[in-house]
Amino acid sequence: MRVHMGSDHAGYELKNHLASVLRADGHDVVDHGPRVFDPDDDYPVFCIPAALGVVADQGSLGVVIGGSGNGEQIAANKVIGVRAALAYDVETAQLARQHNDANVIAIGARMHDQDGATELVRTFLATPFSAQERHARRIQQISAYEERRGEEE
Ligand SMILES: O=C(CO)[C@H](O)[C@H](O)COP(=O)(O)O
Protein backbone atom coordinates (compact mmCIF):
# COMPACT_ATOMS: atom_id res chain seq x y z
CA MET A 1 0.00 0.00 0.00
CA ARG A 2 1.17 3.56 -0.66
CA VAL A 3 1.50 5.62 2.52
CA HIS A 4 1.86 9.41 2.45
CA MET A 5 3.69 10.79 5.49
CA GLY A 6 4.32 14.24 6.91
CA SER A 7 5.35 15.68 10.25
CA ASP A 8 7.05 18.63 11.86
CA HIS A 9 10.19 18.81 14.01
CA ALA A 10 8.40 17.13 16.94
CA GLY A 11 7.46 14.16 14.76
CA TYR A 12 10.57 14.16 12.58
CA GLU A 13 12.43 11.30 14.26
CA LEU A 14 9.33 9.12 14.56
CA LYS A 15 8.38 9.81 10.93
CA ASN A 16 11.79 8.65 9.74
CA HIS A 17 11.61 5.57 11.97
CA LEU A 18 8.11 4.71 10.75
CA ALA A 19 9.08 5.29 7.13
CA SER A 20 11.81 2.66 7.38
CA VAL A 21 9.61 0.23 9.32
CA LEU A 22 6.77 0.57 6.82
CA ARG A 23 9.12 0.19 3.85
CA ALA A 24 10.47 -2.99 5.44
CA ASP A 25 6.84 -4.14 5.83
CA GLY A 26 6.45 -3.75 2.05
CA HIS A 27 4.65 -0.41 1.89
CA ASP A 28 5.46 2.26 -0.67
CA VAL A 29 6.16 5.32 1.49
CA VAL A 30 6.00 8.85 0.10
CA ASP A 31 7.72 11.21 2.53
CA HIS A 32 6.34 14.76 2.25
CA GLY A 33 8.87 16.06 4.74
CA PRO A 34 10.48 17.59 6.57
CA ARG A 35 13.71 16.36 4.99
CA VAL A 36 15.93 17.88 7.66
CA PHE A 37 15.39 18.60 11.33
CA ASP A 38 14.46 22.23 11.91
CA PRO A 39 13.22 22.99 15.45
CA ASP A 40 11.29 26.01 14.16
CA ASP A 41 9.39 24.38 11.32
CA ASP A 42 5.57 24.29 11.06
CA TYR A 43 3.41 21.18 10.65
CA PRO A 44 0.92 22.54 8.06
CA VAL A 45 3.75 22.90 5.53
CA PHE A 46 4.28 19.11 5.54
CA CYS A 47 0.98 17.64 6.74
CA ILE A 48 -1.24 19.38 4.16
CA PRO A 49 0.86 18.03 1.26
CA ALA A 50 0.71 14.55 2.82
CA ALA A 51 -3.09 14.84 3.03
CA LEU A 52 -3.30 16.11 -0.56
CA GLY A 53 -1.18 13.13 -1.57
CA VAL A 54 -3.73 10.74 -0.06
CA VAL A 55 -6.68 12.35 -1.83
CA ALA A 56 -4.86 12.36 -5.17
CA ASP A 57 -3.81 8.73 -4.80
CA GLN A 58 -6.84 6.44 -4.56
CA GLY A 59 -6.38 3.55 -2.16
CA SER A 60 -3.49 5.15 -0.32
CA LEU A 61 -3.47 6.12 3.35
CA GLY A 62 -1.67 8.86 5.26
CA VAL A 63 0.27 9.29 8.50
CA VAL A 64 0.84 12.74 10.00
CA ILE A 65 2.96 13.16 13.11
CA GLY A 66 3.63 16.00 15.51
CA GLY A 67 4.12 16.47 19.22
CA SER A 68 0.50 15.81 20.17
CA GLY A 69 -0.91 15.01 16.73
CA ASN A 70 -3.69 17.54 17.26
CA GLY A 71 -2.55 20.29 14.90
CA GLU A 72 -1.48 17.71 12.34
CA GLN A 73 -4.96 16.17 12.39
CA ILE A 74 -6.58 19.60 12.13
CA ALA A 75 -4.40 20.58 9.16
CA ALA A 76 -5.00 17.29 7.35
CA ASN A 77 -8.76 17.57 7.86
CA LYS A 78 -8.82 20.89 5.98
CA VAL A 79 -8.15 18.97 2.78
CA ILE A 80 -11.42 18.00 1.11
CA GLY A 81 -11.81 14.23 1.06
CA VAL A 82 -9.60 13.63 4.08
CA ARG A 83 -10.87 11.97 7.23
CA ALA A 84 -7.98 12.25 9.66
CA ALA A 85 -8.23 10.57 13.06
CA LEU A 86 -6.02 11.13 16.08
CA ALA A 87 -5.24 7.65 17.40
CA TYR A 88 -3.99 7.34 20.97
CA ASP A 89 -4.29 3.61 21.53
CA VAL A 90 -4.80 0.44 19.49
CA GLU A 91 -8.58 0.61 19.81
CA THR A 92 -8.83 4.17 18.48
CA ALA A 93 -6.51 3.21 15.61
CA GLN A 94 -8.80 0.27 14.76
CA LEU A 95 -12.03 2.21 15.13
CA ALA A 96 -10.69 5.00 12.90
CA ARG A 97 -10.72 2.51 10.04
CA GLN A 98 -13.65 0.27 11.04
CA HIS A 99 -16.18 3.00 11.85
CA ASN A 100 -14.83 6.16 10.21
CA ASP A 101 -13.02 4.86 7.14
CA ALA A 102 -10.32 7.35 8.13
CA ASN A 103 -7.71 7.77 5.41
CA VAL A 104 -5.16 9.59 7.57
CA ILE A 105 -3.94 8.72 11.05
CA ALA A 106 -2.49 11.46 13.27
CA ILE A 107 0.02 10.48 15.93
CA GLY A 108 1.52 12.44 18.81
CA ALA A 109 5.19 11.55 18.93
CA ARG A 110 5.46 12.99 22.44
CA MET A 111 2.68 10.69 23.65
CA HIS A 112 4.16 7.29 22.69
CA ASP A 113 7.45 5.50 22.46
CA GLN A 114 8.54 4.31 19.01
CA ASP A 115 7.23 0.78 19.43
CA GLY A 116 3.87 2.00 20.69
CA ALA A 117 3.47 4.45 17.82
CA THR A 118 4.52 1.77 15.34
CA GLU A 119 1.80 -0.54 16.66
CA LEU A 120 -0.81 2.17 16.19
CA VAL A 121 0.22 2.84 12.60
CA ARG A 122 0.49 -0.84 11.68
CA THR A 123 -2.94 -1.46 13.19
CA PHE A 124 -4.43 1.45 11.24
CA LEU A 125 -2.95 0.29 7.93
CA ALA A 126 -4.04 -3.32 8.44
CA THR A 127 -7.63 -2.63 9.49
CA PRO A 128 -10.38 -2.48 6.83
CA PHE A 129 -13.49 -0.30 6.90
CA SER A 130 -16.38 -2.39 8.21
CA ALA A 131 -18.67 -1.06 5.45
CA GLN A 132 -21.61 -1.39 7.83
CA GLU A 133 -24.57 0.64 6.62
CA ARG A 134 -24.77 2.94 9.66
CA HIS A 135 -21.11 3.90 9.41
CA ALA A 136 -21.27 4.42 5.64
CA ARG A 137 -24.40 6.57 6.12
CA ARG A 138 -22.64 8.84 8.64
CA ILE A 139 -19.56 9.20 6.46
CA GLN A 140 -21.83 10.07 3.54
CA GLN A 141 -23.43 12.81 5.65
CA ILE A 142 -19.98 14.30 6.28
CA SER A 143 -19.09 14.10 2.58
CA ALA A 144 -22.39 15.73 1.63
CA TYR A 145 -21.66 18.60 4.01
CA GLU A 146 -18.17 18.92 2.58
CA GLU A 147 -19.65 19.25 -0.92
CA ARG A 148 -22.11 21.98 0.00
CA ARG A 149 -19.68 23.79 2.31
CA GLY A 150 -19.95 27.56 1.99
CA GLU A 151 -23.55 27.35 0.90
CA GLU A 152 -26.23 28.45 3.32
CA GLU A 153 -27.52 25.77 5.66
O1 LIG B 1 1.79 18.80 18.18
C2 LIG B 1 1.92 19.81 17.54
C3 LIG B 1 0.74 20.55 17.03
O4 LIG B 1 -0.45 20.01 17.50
C5 LIG B 1 3.27 20.38 17.32
O6 LIG B 1 4.16 19.34 17.06
C7 LIG B 1 3.70 21.12 18.56
O8 LIG B 1 2.78 22.18 18.83
C9 LIG B 1 5.11 21.71 18.39
O10 LIG B 1 5.47 22.38 19.57
P11 LIG B 1 6.89 23.12 19.73
O12 LIG B 1 6.99 24.11 18.58
O13 LIG B 1 6.78 23.79 21.07
O14 LIG B 1 7.98 22.08 19.64
pLDDT digits (tens, 9 = 90+) for 64-73: 999 999 999 9
6 is in an annotated binding site: no
Domain assignment present for residue 125? The answer is yes
pTM greater than 0.80: yes
In this predicted complex, what is the ipTM?
Answer: 0.98
Find out whether the beta carbon of 66 lies less than 6 Å from any atom of ligand 1: yes
Question: CA–CA separation, 92 vs 123, rounded Å?
Answer: 10
Find out whether the beta carbon of 43 lies less than 6 Å from any atom of ligand 1: yes
Domain assignment present for residue 77? The answer is yes
How many structural domains compose the chain? 1
Domain carrying residue 72: 2-148
- The CATH number for 144's domain is 3.40.1400.10
Q: How far is the CA of 148 from the centre of ligand 1 (A)?
A: 32
Question: CA–CA separation, 36 vs 88, rounded Å?
Answer: 26
Domain assignment present for residue 136? The answer is yes
Domain assignment present for residue 36? The answer is yes
